[in-house]
Structure formats: structure tokens, C-alpha cells
Amino acid sequence: MTKRQEYIFAYDICNENQQEQLRKILKAYAIGSQDSLYECWLNEAEHQKLVAQVQKILTDDDRCLSFLRPKKFILYGSAKPLQYHPFIVS
């Protein structure tokens, strides 16, 4: 069984049509989201597939960051970490 890891995707895209396309793709994989930030539990193959889909949408002026969520992190403001138990059927 392939190991899943939590990836964070964040984007900055000016064009509203491209934003909507990217949101639709990311929501298909996301377990949580907030505006332009998405949390996704992915294995390596899913991550590569998602990155390939994202790259098709982006232009030179756009940015999309993807990184593994660190084990330790600091939360600022009134936001609270998601409380969930990942359950993925493959």
C-alpha cells in the first residue's frame, strides 16, 4: 500500500476563470480548504497527477505552491487546526 502524506496547496492567480478551474481540481482531492489554501492527503502518484493538472492551468503570472505539511507548525490568529480522522477509500 502506498503511503499517503498531507500536502498543502496554496495559489495566487489573477484570472477568475483559471481560479475556478484550479479550485475545481483541488477540491476533488481536498479534505479541507480555506479560500486559496487546500489540504490534501495524497500518495506520490496522486501528487504527481495533481501537479500535472495544475501546471496545465497556470500562466507565467500565476503561482501555486505545493508542500508537505510539517509535523510541527504554529497557528496564528483565531484559526483552529482541522480535527479529522483521514478515511480514504481507494
Which pLDDT does position 80 carry in this prediction?
63
Q: Which fold has domain 5-68?
A: Alpha-Beta Plaits (3.30.70)
Coil, strand or helix at 59: coil
**Residue 86 pLDDT > 80, yes or no?**
no
The residue with greater pLDDT, 74 or 24, is 24
Banded model confidence at residue 33, pLDDT cuts 50, 70, 90? confident
Contact (CB, 8 A) for 29 and 86: no
Mean pLDDT calculated for residue range 34-38: 84
Determine the straight-line distance between the first and last CA of the chain, rounded to whole angstroms. Answer: 10
**Residue 90 pLDDT > 60, yes or no?**
no
Banded model confidence at residue 28, pLDDT cuts 50, 70, 90? very high
Contact (CB, 8 A) for 36 and 11: yes
Pairing of the two strands 37-42 and 5-12: antiparallel
